[in-house]
Amino acid sequence: MIEVIPNWHPVAVHFTVALLITASVLFAAGTLFRKAASGGALTAAARWNLAIGAAVTVATLATGWSAYNTVAHDAASHANMTVHLRWAIATALVFLAAAGVAWLERRKVAGAGVVLLALLAGGSGALAVTGWLGGENVYRYGLGVMALPKSGDHVHPASGGHPHDHGDDHETADAPTTPDAAAGKVETRPAPDAPSAPHEHAH
């Protein structure tokens, strides 16, 4: 199987988000324009997006579970991973229920019933929260990141051709400063790396 770094979950999750949000929007549009000529076409497209999205979501959950058990992490990131996992499962169940209701309404020419619209609205909100938590896993806790970029001088086209350094000249909260009495300058010294305790991940 083709190796994907760090795993297949980031690949599958984008299809889940795109298809399910698109389905929700199309069902709402099909209901709003159910008496128009485009109402039936919008509803048909919504059903296809929901059906394919529900199928892809099963793969997204499977790859997410694999990532949950294999990605290196510590205690703090484990807590956020667990919250993300619970939201993902709940969100998937809502959309799977919506797919079931849509199947029951398959004979409806255009539009969706109140129950289906409510499930889609709630599922879309839950999907947004799930995506936010997933983003925090990567961008706040660094999960699944194989390598961090090294700082160095390079030029951005929009910067007017002036090279600049990312990270080397910037002070951070973890880099205390000490005044240099002789030169009247401030010296930045990076704080030593704090030892991290290993995290046991058992299910």
Q: How does pLDDT run across 45-90, given as a tens digit for each residue?
A: 999 999 999 999 999 999 888 888 888 777 887 888 899 999 999 9
The residue among 66, 28, 35 whose CA lies nearest residue 50 is 28
What was the pLDDT predicted at 7? 79
What was the pLDDT predicted at 154? 63
Q: Dihedrals φ, ψ of 37, to 5°?
A: -65, -25
Q: What's CA 110's distance to the chain center, in Å?
A: 32
What was the pLDDT predicted at 173? 44
What was the pLDDT predicted at 199? 58
What was the pLDDT predicted at 8? 82
| Residues of the chain with confidence (pLDDT) below 70 | 1-5, 147-148, 151-203
